[in-house]
Structure 1
Amino acid sequence: MKSETLIQPALIFNRRQSLTLLAVAMSSCVAQAQNTTWPDTLRAARGQTVYFNAWAGSERINAYLQWAAAELQRDFGVKLQHVKISDAADVVKRIRAEKQAGRKDTEGTVDLVWINGENFAAMKRDGLLSAPFAQALPNFQWVDTVGKPTTLVDFSVPTEGLESPWGMAQLTFLADTQRLPKPPQNMAELLALARSQPGRITYPRPPNFHGTTFVKQALIEHAPDVKALAQPVTPAALAAQAAPLWRFLDALHPHLWRGGKQFPQNSAAVRQMMADGELVMALTFNPNEAANEIAAKRLPATVQSWQFAKGTIGNTHFVAIPYNAPSKAGAQVVANFLLSPAAQARKADIDVWGDPTVLDVARLPAAERARFQSASRPGQVAVTAPVLPEPHASWVDALEKEWTRRYGV
């Protein structure tokens, strides 16, 4: 596919227009529900313990959740217990097993889960989620559902209130300007760079989500019909749309680190290899990660972040309540707190986490808006590129299996 067809403004506009109409249609009944039921939710939540199953691979994220736990206990009488996990897919399997074992709607082990993508699609499909709740949260009124349409659509699957947005992500690359003054602006330029500097570029091994995202970015840039990626995958669609992807990877891999015969396990390993001078670039799904690492003095201030000129894959990550959560009221209070301007601003702070907000900051009251005002920091993305929507969630497993078959040995 030619690069000029990567972004289709009319299609994106129509999608956003539809999401706006959906949000407006729901607003009046949601507002009424808030006025009549939220005080009851707050009363029911007091004294509850919320077991929040969330990825624990970052000390900063863990520290942020400890701060949130203290705030929730003090202000709402809700105890937040961070259940540290390495993969949300394991949580989905556990909840599915509980349903198969006949666990009733208050007999589960998970009250809230950090989730998106194929894991959300699986929980929605299998009836593992509680009733819709997101739009009834008081702080949902500040979510940017127009400018950030992925707050309502998760990997092309409508959320329908079954999960509450928490943060934004977009594929971002980083490199030291002293070693890479002219970064690649698309996959074709990345291939040219790999050929000119063999062994100095790589990406994490799928099914690591950074590695899979790299593959999906290449898929979007090469698919003959990018609109087909928004539909559930079929064998015929995979064969037709991914054929140019495999040709691209076949051309790229011989020039990668260790000849494309081995791949790092995660993006942290890639970033460290870049910091050590073994690689010339790394990748992340957090546009503020380089600034975060520079602030922590783990990367030099000469590191820059960028996104491909015509766009990179972006999405929203969410929290969801399982069908059998014992503390559903408490889980809603936690989700609402995580959407508050105070919690979102702290999360977006480079020195705390640096995770971009889901809120429409321009619509916030002045005092709340001021929380987000900060000077530009070294390492931040200078020019934000358009967000390319994720393929349908079903493409993840299909791509990972085929990638493993072709390159995993």
Structure 2
Amino acid sequence: MTARSLLTATLFFALTAAPPALADTWEETLSRADGSTVYWNAWGGDERTNAFIAWVGDEVAERYGVTLRHVKLADTGEAVTRVLAEKAAGKDSGGSVDLIWINGANFLSMKEQGLLHGPFSESLPNYAYVDTTDKPSNVVDFTVPVDGMESPWRMAQIVFAYDTARLSEVPKSIPAFLDWAAHHRGRFAHPNVRDFLGATFLKQALYELAPDPADLQQPATDETFDTVTAPLWAWYDELRPLLWRGGEQFPDSGPAARQLLDDAEIDLTISFDPAEPAGWIAAGLAPDTVRAYTLDGGTIGNTSFVAIPYNAANPDGAKVVANFLLEPATQARAQDIRVLGSFSVLDMDKLDADQRQAFLDLPTAPALPSNEELGIVLLEPHPTWMTRIVDEWTRRYTR
């Protein structure tokens, strides 16, 4: 055999042998996962999301013998703190957290402190369907490279929700909020900034008000934070007294703000899920006159991930759950406005005809914006901006 023939044979063997090796590895993962219990620490503040996670638990139990326990969190930081405490105590295996719904500052913290298991996401069979080109937030989390340490499962983008029965005009830019709020005093509410949605509203404002939005893609420092955010606080000082209850009280969360909209206490609020207003209507949680829109200059969008702590008791079971979340049928169910309405992290061009059809068959609704209507998607700022904004807002506006 010539050297060239030997090289060709070697390459052929490597290419044809790789898939069975991957399959054998995944089969071993499935075998080890069978009979395990996975404690998924995930935000528990939304009934529809809680119901979806319960459905995931039923499916992975039936298919793979994995028991899924939803540990409901008010703040993802609770789980991060728990893992950090276990590391400090020397508990490097058998940890209490197997899977975390995570992104942004919490991901950066865990990555920097060596609290993550992996890389693992690209070894999941269903990761092959993920859109890593046109959805850059699937591989870059708040400017931080994912590096396989977390697996995407749903996408989000800021929309504003309003009741067309009470409003004919809405603010289409952050500066326009001041004039609009002056003419609609008390009719807009954002969640408390200590809630991620409230903090995201201020990040959205900062995008339009910062002297150079490119600064937001770099870590915030003492010097840059004060300079870049100065216009934000000047704007917010004017807006705050025009908010619901004079800006002295804030709804605790997105669902609490939605309840105010349903009760006609406000006419306009914010969501980080483009399909959420349509979901509210379908579930009877908002009047059917509610609609969603974005700002003319675009709105912030990101990807939600799941990550496995370095000391997880059942990392194989966690991988099975993460892989199931990427299954095309699961993604289609999650995008159904009757279920979650979460926009998919998958690349439709990577799906076969039947898999694509499942998305095409999903119901539509007047309150569901199209991809064109969502407009420009702005990348999340570096996580340090969010943490500093929350701290500064708390210092300035709470007693």
The equivalent of 2:42 in structure 1 is: 54
Could you tell me which runs of 5 or more consecutive residues in structure 2 were left unpaired when the two chains were aligned: 1-14
- Verify: 1:179 aligned to 2:166, yes or no: yes
Q: Which runs of 4+ in 1 moved over 6 A?
A: 27-33
Distance in 2 (CA, whole Å) between partners of 1:243 and 1:122 is: 26
Which of these residues, 336, 347, 352, is aligned with residue 365 of structure 1? 352
- Verify: 1:399 aligned to 2:399, yes or no: no
Q: Is the 8 A contact 1:307 1:381 kept in 2?
A: no
Flag the structure with larger Rg: 2
Which of these residues, 280, 295, 299, is aligned with residue 286 of structure 2? 299
Label 1:334 to 1:198 Cα distance change in 2 as closer, same or farther (>3 A): same
Q: Secondary structure at the match of 2:203?
A: helix
- Verify: 1:342 aligned to 2:332, yes or no: no
Superposition pairs of residues 73-84 of structure 1, within 5 angstroms: 73-84=61-72
Distance in 2 (CA, whole Å) between partners of 1:198 and 1:210 is: 21
The equivalent of 2:375 in structure 1 is: 385
Distance in 2 (CA, whole Å) between partners of 1:86 and 1:215 is: 20
Could you tell me which runs of 5 or more consecutive residues in structure 1 were left unpaired when the two chains were aligned: 1-26
Label 1:85 to 1:28 Cα distance change in 2 as closer, same or farther (>3 A): farther
- Verify: 1:97 aligned to 2:98, yes or no: no
The equivalent of 1:237 in structure 2 is: 224
Q: Is the 8 A contact 1:290 1:380 kept in 2?
A: yes
- Verify: 1:200 aligned to 2:184, yes or no: no
Deviation at 1:294, TM superposition (A): 0.6
Percent identity over the alignment? Answer: 47
Distance in 1 (CA, whole Å) between partners of 2:19 and 2:227 is: 46
Q: Is the 8 A contact 1:31 1:136 kept in 2?
A: no
TM-score, normalised relative to structure 1: 0.90
Q: Is the 8 A contact 2:258 2:286 kept in 1?
A: no
Distance in 1 (CA, whole Å) between partners of 2:204 and 2:16 is: 38
Deviation at 1:227, TM superposition (A): 1.2
TM-score, normalised relative to structure 2: 0.92
Distance in 2 (CA, whole Å) between partners of 1:263 and 1:138 is: 43
Q: Is the 8 A contact 1:174 1:282 kept in 2?
A: yes
Distance in 2 (CA, whole Å) between partners of 1:172 and 1:31 is: 42
Q: Secondary structure at the match of 1:52?
A: strand
* CA offsets 1:3-33 (integer angstroms, 9 cap, x no match): xxxxxxxxxxxxxxxxxxxxxxxx9999687
Superposition pairs of residues 221-260 of structure 1, within 5 angstroms: 221-260=208-247
Which of these residues, 248, 251, 274, is aligned with residue 264 of structure 1? 251
Distance in 2 (CA, whole Å) between partners of 1:30 and 1:272 is: 53
TM-align CA RMSD: 1.8
Superposition pairs of residues 13-162 of structure 1, within 5 angstroms: 34-104=22-92, 106-162=93-149
Q: Secondary structure at the match of 2:374?
A: coil
Deviation at 1:269, TM superposition (A): 2.1
Mean Cα deviation higher: 68-77 or 162-171: 68-77
Label 1:182 to 1:362 Cα distance change in 2 as closer, same or farther (>3 A): farther
Distance in 1 (CA, whole Å) between partners of 2:16 and 2:255 is: 45
* CA offsets 1:87-138 (integer angstroms, 9 cap, x no match): 110000000000000012x220111111111111110011100120011111
Q: Is the 8 A contact 2:301 2:378 kept in 1?
A: yes
* CA offsets 1:298-339 (integer angstroms, 9 cap, x no match): 222211101112210111110000000111111111100111
Distance in 1 (CA, whole Å) between partners of 2:216 and 2:281 is: 36
The equivalent of 2:152 in structure 1 is: 165
Mean Cα deviation higher: 86-95 or 179-188: 179-188
Which of these residues, 316, 328, 335, is aligned with residue 315 of structure 2? 328
Between the two proteins, the alignment pairs up a number of residues equal to 382
Deviation at 1:171, TM superposition (A): 0.8
Distance in 1 (CA, whole Å) between partners of 2:17 and 2:175 is: 49
Deviation at 1:86, TM superposition (A): 1.7
